[in-house]
Structures are given as C-alpha cells and as structure tokens.
A and B are shown apart, each in its own frame.
Chain A
Amino acid sequence: MESLSCKALVVGGGPGGYVAAIRAGQLGLDTVIVEADRLGGTCLNRGCIPSKALIQGASTYEAMVSHVGKEHMGIALSSAPTLELASMVSWKNNVVDKLNQGVAGLLKKAGVRVVTGWATFSDAKSCLVKGEQGEVSISAEHVILANGSCVSALPNIPLGGDVISSTEALDLDRVPDELAIIGAGYIGLELGIAYRKMGAKVTFIEGLERILPLYDREMTRPIENWLNKHEVEVICQARAARVETANGKPVLYYQDNQGQEHNIAADKVLVTVGRRPNTQGWGLENMCIDMQGASIKVDKQCRTSMKNVWAIGDLVGEPMLAHKASAQGEMVAEIIAGERREFDARAIPAVCFTEPEIVGVGLSPTEAKQQGIETVVGKFPFAAIGKALAMNAGTDGGFVRLTARADNHLVIGMHAVGTHVAELSNQFALALELGARLEDIAGTIHVHPTLGEATMEAALAGLGKAIHA
C-alpha cells in the first residue's frame, strides 16, 4: 500500500477544495487533493455549470419557438424547431468536460498531487484513500475538509426511478411531458423554468407561502408573473406526502393548506428540497470535530475545533455557494502558508438563474429594518432602460433596488431582478466591499446603453433625483 505524507491535504475537488489546493500549491506547500469523482465537484459536474448550459439551451429553444408561425422582430419560423434533449445534454457534457480538464491542468501546474478515490479518516490527520488504483494512506500536517453537500431527500419520498434529484434532472434523455417539482427554491425554479421552456408542463409543490422565500416579495413578483404567464402552477403551503405509481407513471400525492389531499400525475417527480453537508461515510466521527447543527463548526478563519483541521464550503453550512467555498479555500491555503487572513466579506452575492434572474447582495430593506437600521431605498425599473427594451427584456417587471443607510447613505444592499441581471452582481458586490455610498454610485459614469444604467438611476432615485423617472 502506498503511503503519502504532505503539508496540506485537501479532501474534495469542488470549487472550495480545488481552489484551496491550487493556492496552497502556488504558495509552495506540499499539497495533495483527494477526489472520488471528477474534479470540479457539484458545481462543475451537477450544479452551476451544467444547469446554466441547460438553461441556455432551453432559452434558445424557447426563443425559436416564439417565432414559429408568427413574426417577431421580423423573424418567423415556418416549422417548429426540434429538441433532442439527449444531444443538448451531451453538448452540456462537453462544456463540463472542458472545464474538468481545465481544473486538472491548473492543479498540475500548481504542483498539486491528485489522488482519485474515497478518503476515510481514521484520525484527524490521517486517512485511507480507496480508489481504482488501490489504496493510499495519507497523513498530513494540515487537513482542509471540502467534502461539499448532497441533495436532501424526503423520508417519505425516496429518490429512484422517476423520482429524481437535480443531478438526474441534468441528464434526462427526453423532456418529460409533465414534471412535478417538490420545492420552489432556486434549484427547483431554475430547472423547472428550463423544462417549461423546453415544453414540459410544470407544477411546483412548495411548503412555504411563496417561491424563493429567501427573497422579499417585491423581488420574486416578476418570477411569479413569468410562471403565471407560462401556465406553471405553484401550489404553496402544500406538503408532499408520497409518490405512487399508476399506469407506469409516478403520481405525487400532497396535502394542501387545508389538509386536503390531492395528486398530480407526472412523468417525473423532481425533488429539490435543499442540500445538506456531506458529513457521513468518511470518518468525520473519528476526527473529534465539533458540529453546529448539520454542518461543521468553524470560526472566521475556517478553523474547526481540531488544530490544523479546516473546513470550507457547503460543509460549513449556508450559504452553500461555490464562490463562498472558493473564497474560503483560498483564504485557508494562505493562512496555512503563514499569512494573516480571515473571512470578513461584507456580503456574499447570490444569484438565481430563474426567469427573470434575481441578484441579491447585502441587506434588503426589510432585513435592514429588522436590524434597526433606518434606510433610504432607491429603485429603478428596466422598463425605462433603453438597452433592456432593445433586448426585449424590459417588460418582465424587472428593476434594480439599492438600500442605503439613511444617515450616511452607505449602500448596504443591492438587489436586482430582470433578464441577464446576474452579470450585475459583481458590480453590486464591489460597491458593498468598497463601502460605496449612493453618491459614489450615482457619481460613477455608467455606460449607455447597458442594463447597468439602472444601478446608477436607482442610486439617483435613492437621492431623490433620478433622471429617467
């Protein structure tokens, strides 16, 4: 049996782990990364990237369908386009493969050794990796746990067959005629909207009062409008009870808010009720590490309760976002290399690639109020932005909304909903990190014609002097 020792051992090759490993390698630390599956983790293989590819495919298809038999922008298609989902999935897989190889190349360039296999820890600093090439025993001075998360399932609705998770939903070979989705959070909505665009009849069963409960109603209304317009039914305050099979198809039974039972017959039942940290099956119990609920407890440097064992990404809890994991991974590698770092981001931006898209950075006016902060809010609609209209994206009710402190105009929250607004998220995050005031944003020349002009106008609106409103 091969035996390795290293300065830094990274467990998990997702956006947290591989970034940590690359940075550690760049800083000259002897680094080993262990991954049982393909490099890139959930994000690259069955999350962010493949879903964006499918959404792109679905949107392209939907756009083409909108021209069938009727002229729009002077374009008309005489016959309907065909959609081969299996081909779209294979195109998506090509995108994933390319990025996959990219990660492997970066790790190699940074001098990181990649061990393929499943690591099981016997104590905090040693593990045994079982892979196709046999077993490797690794002991390390520092261990960075980046084991990620897995989809949560419902105890009464086990996954399997036509009951699928987001992972399978990214690899279907045909578009289901009817798709029932349990959970109208961002994962369910992204996939559900994509399948709706591809022609499926989609129904959501949501336990809470409305979709995307983490965003305020003002933000989610444009999405609700889109769902309504596209005949997507969202049944809120409903509880999925069980799935039975009838005529070879799954039937989802649920109780409405009155306790009455209903059912939906579907081709597929997609369960998207969230994700939970991967804490089982790799010897975490042998490492003497404190937990905080379902996740590993860490401080603001991502230290666990065990000396020189670090945990990052989804494993340490919400928000389970790739960019948070990467930032933590980079930070931990630098701390191990002797630099002074701590995780003190002012805001972790979040985006939902729904239709239309949602961006949230920092506090909403409601959250600010709950923290006792008096605010001024500036809002500006895309309906008044030339570029949005020219892109046929000005009619979905989208807007940019800035929340600032009333006393000094420091911007504490930047939100947007609208087509393509995901790309505004980084400007938002930058403004918050640099401590921008409404005056700073209003005083920055924004390019015309762009969607981003709405940000400047929203800042001006917050100051009571919007130009185009």
Chain B
Amino acid sequence: MGNYLIKMPDVGEGIAEVEIVEWSVAVGDSIEEDDLLCVVMTDKAAVEIPSPVDGQVTWIGPEAGITMAVGADLVRLQVEGQGNTSADIPPDKSMGESTEPVQMSTGDPEQSGAEAEAAKATHQPGESAPVAQSVGSAPARGIPRPEGERPIASPAVRQRARDAGIDLRYVHGRGPAHRISHSDLDAFIAGSGAAAKLTGQLADTSVKEIKVIGLRRKIAAIMQDTMQRIPHYTYVEEVDVTELEGLRTRMNNQRRDDQPKLTVLPFFIKAVVKALRTFPEMGSRYDDEQEILYQYGAAHVGIATQTPSGLLVPVIRHAETLDIWECAAQLKRLAEAARAGTIGREELSGSNITITSLGPLGGIATTPVINSPEVAIIGVNKIAKRPLWKDGGFVPRDIMHLSSSFDHRIIDGWEATQFIHGIKDMLESPALLFMEDQ
C-alpha cells in the first residue's frame, strides 16, 4: 500500500488558480481511475478534474467555494503498490481518522455506503455551516400553539416584546411548554426566529445563507466591474420583422422534419456581421488600462446563454465566414454544450460583440450589460403582433425591439443610432442580408 498525492492539474493556458465548485468524492470513498474528483471554476468555465489512478480517498483539499492554486495538493489516495509520495496524511487528518473507524466497524456495505454519504454531506459546499448552525441556534418547530392561545412568557419578556413592537405569537419559545425566554426573543430580533405555526398566512422570517460561489461569483464580479468601469448608453429601436418572419417561415417550410429549423437569431447574427463592415468600431475591444482600442476584422459573436449554473457567453468564431444555416448549426451546438457544461474554455472567450436574447420572454426593452471589454451588446426583445398605421389604416405587423448598450467612452450616441439603423434596415428588408457587400 502506498500514498498517492494528486495535485491540482493545469487546466488551461495562463490559469494560475481555480475555485473548487463541488466535490464528487469524500474521505473514505473508493475510486477508480477517471472517476470525477471535483469540479473547479476557472475564470470562464467549469472544469472537471478526474482521478489519474485507483485508490481510496484519505484526504481532500479545501471545501467548495475556496480558491486554490494550480499545483496545490488536491486529493490524497491510498493506492495498491507504491504510491507517488512517502509523506503521510497532511496535518489536518481529523477527517480521515473520524471516518476510518466507521468504515472498519460496519460490515454491512449498505450501511457503510450511508456512512460515506454522511461523511460526504459534511463536505458539501455551503451546506455544512448552515446545517450546523441550525442545530445549534435555530429553534426547532414544536407543537403549534393553538389558535387564540396566549404565548407563554414572563411579564418582563412580554414587555420587552411590546417595546420592540414584536407580537409574541410569532416567536417560537424553546423553553419547557414552549415558554419564550429572553434569549428566544433575542434570537427572533436577530432574525433567526422561526414563526410558530398558527393558521393562515404567516410572516416567514427565515433567512437562508447562500454562499455565492463558482460561476455565480464570477458573474457577480464581472458585472460589478463592468458596471463600475463602463458608462453604458442604451438605445431602444423598434423593428418591423413581418417580412423577415415571412422569409423565415418559408425557409423552414422547405426543410425536412429531421433538419434543424431557423430561429430569428441567425438572421440577427448575419445583420450584425454585415453592419460591422460599415461600423467596425462596434466590434472592437477596449483595453482601458492601456487606452488602446483593438479593432478586429473578424466577427466573433458572443451569444449570451442561460445555463442551469448561470449565464455563459459561448462564441461563434468568424461569423463572417458562415452562412445562415451554418450560423444556426453553430448556435445550436454551442447552446447545447454550454447547457450541458461540456463547453470548452476556448469557446467561452474571444468575442468582440455580443448578442443577448431572452427569446419569447424578451420583454419590451432591456438594458443589456456590455460583455467587457467589448464596446457594444445587441439585445433582442420579443416579437409581438402590433397594429401599425399604414396606408390609411391599421395593419397587424410583427414588431420587435432592439435594446442595445454601448460603451460611451468609445461610441457616441449618434454612431450607435446609425449602427442600429443599419441592422434595422436589413431586418426590415431581409433581402439586404443576402446581398454581396460592395
């Protein structure tokens, strides 16, 4: 038997540290080669870390939410034969010690599995602390106080509650016979008091502590930074997409059932790509520390995509080389990969303009946040049938809005308006989308 140390592997170029998002193993688990050890978050993507060998876990690294350096100790295993390290279990070996006896004393495999589950549970991110806290201080709910019954509390507690404007009927008493003590009142005032179950609607005073980790933490940091650095200018324009919708329907009708259908998004991508030819500054990236604007010939279009773990922006690279069907295929592939969590880090970076769409939920107008360091983001709102005054009467038209934000340090309002009008023209007369550039 030997000890095997797994260090945090290099997960991508230029990445020095990663955040542990979730552990898939716990101390005591027996694992095989390629079993998932944990998921870590880089600056862009979640990366799964597999085990290079078989063995039994004797130690795991920091809990979820903690950022650790690449190359730092991640997991220690006990392996058959010689390990890769002679060092024993590192200083913090309490976990190993506390679970090993359990393993040995339980002959029943099912039970040992449950024990392992329990051990694992204590390492779950964001769970261990609140759970422990709830055992320690949050009052357990007891017998509901029958309607109309007065809470049991001493006159001094009652007076304090009145002074604080608290109705003691909503305070849980942890004392015998659910007597409310001064400390119960303190707990209630501090916000951890659970309301006693009466009837009807109750004030729910519970507060859940959720650690912001992983992708959410990344998004939070980026959004905060973006909004602090970039003076946003948002412009909303109305677009009549009746003809575009007609064209799209026709194109889809010619497809076989097994072929993917077009959404409106590929048309927008095409329109943006073509508009960038006229307004190349819209597809630039601004390094505000160096005060240099990088203007690209390419159109790497980021597509804001909601995934179960949060917002990601996969990138359609060189959209200027793709026809409408290829755009559609790329969109589908990237969205699926992003949602499945299998998307690579290289496909989540490098865009120079971003399109954000909430699809049918898209609202009337939005205030999109620029995907820094880009300078423009195009927001697509939903399409709705609206009456339009035309030739002396109202006619039903498919109307949608484009809500777009620009970095006002680089883009002035007038230019932004021109850019959006260029897109609008193409979308309203979709034939323009397919005309050769002059």
Contact = CB atoms under 8 A, between A and B. Distances in A.
A103 to B, nearest CB: 25
B218 to A, nearest CB: 49
Contacts of A242: none
Given A340-B162, A342-B162, A433-B155, A408 B150 contact: no
Interface string B154-175: 1100110011010000000001
B143 A407 contact: yes
Interface stretch (A49-57, A104-112, A355-363, A434-442): A434-442
Contacts of B153: 435
Interface string A340-354: 111010100000000
Interface string A306-342: 0000000000000000000000000000000001111
B182 interface: no
A339 B153 CA distance: 20
A408 B178 CA distance: 9
Contacts of B154: 433-435
A435 B143 contact: no
Contact of B163 (A340, A405, A440): A340
A23 interface: no
A341 B162 contact: yes
A409 B155 contact: no
B90 interface: no
B152 interface: yes
Nearest to B152: A435
Contacts of B150: 344, 346
A410 interface: yes
A339 B179 CA distance: 25
A435 B158 CA distance: 12
A341 B163 CA distance: 8
A408 B176 CA distance: 8
B177 interface: yes
Contacts of B159: 341
Contacts, number: 34
Given A340-B162, A341-B162, A435 B177 contact: yes
B176 A437 contact: yes
Contacts of A407: 143
Contact of B177 (A339, A342, A409): A409
Contacts of B175: 435
Secondary structure at chain A's binding surface: helix, strand, loop or mixed? Answer: loop
B412 to A, nearest CB: 60
A410 B155 contact: no
B177 A437 contact: yes
A438 to B, nearest CB: 10
A435 B155 contact: no
Nearest to B162: A340
Contact of A435 (B162, B165, B179): B179
Contacts of B179: 435
Interface string A165-205: 00000000000000000000000000000000000000000
Contacts of B165: 340
Nearest to B148: A371
Contacts of A440: 176
Contacts of B162: 340-342
A66 B153 CA distance: 48
A270 B178 CA distance: 50
A340 B163 CA distance: 6
A405 B155 contact: no
Interface residues of A, number: 17
A407 B143 CA distance: 10
B169 to A, nearest CB: 12
Interface string A50-75: 00000000000000000000000000
Contact of A408 (B155, B158, B177): B177
A342 B162 CA distance: 8
A410 B158 contact: no
A282 B244 CA distance: 89
A409 B158 CA distance: 21
Contact of B158 (A339, A344, A437): A344
Interface string A408-439: 11100000000000000000000001110101
Interface string A73-105: 000000000000000000000000000000000
A410 B152 contact: yes
Nearest to B142: A408
Given A344-B158, A435-B154, A410 B177 contact: yes
A407, A409, A434 interface centre (most CB from chain B within 10 Å): A434
A433 B180 CA distance: 12
A347 to B, nearest CB: 11
B382 to A, nearest CB: 52
Contacts of A340: 162-163, 165
A333 B177 CA distance: 34
A407 B176 CA distance: 11
A323 to B, nearest CB: 14
Nearest to A433: B155
Nearest to B165: A340
Contacts of B158: 344
Contacts of A339: 163
Interface in B177-220: 177-179
Given A346-B150, A410-B152, A439 B143 contact: no
B163 A439 contact: no
Nearest to B168: A344
Contacts of A408: 143, 176-178
Contacts of A433: 154-155
Interface in A355-414: 405, 407-410
A437 B143 CA distance: 16
Contacts of A434: 154-155
A342 B150 CA distance: 14
A405 B149 CA distance: 13
Nearest to A372: B146
Nearest to A408: B177
A448 B155 CA distance: 29
A285 B51 CA distance: 92
A138 to B, nearest CB: 31
A434 B173 CA distance: 13
5 contacts: A339-B163, A340-B165, A341-B162, A408-B143, A440-B176
Given A435-B177, A435-B179, A440-B176, 14 more contacts: A340-B165, A341-B159, A344-B150, A344-B158, A346-B150, A408-B177, A410-B177, A433-B155, A434-B154, A435-B152, A435-B154, A435-B175, A437-B176, A437-B177
Interface of B: 143, 150, 152-155, 158-159, 162-163, 165, 175-179
Complex A-B, nearest 9 residue pairs according to Cβ-Cβ distance, in ascending order: A435-B152, A408-B177, A410-B177, A435-B179, A340-B162, A434-B154, A433-B155, A437-B177, A340-B163
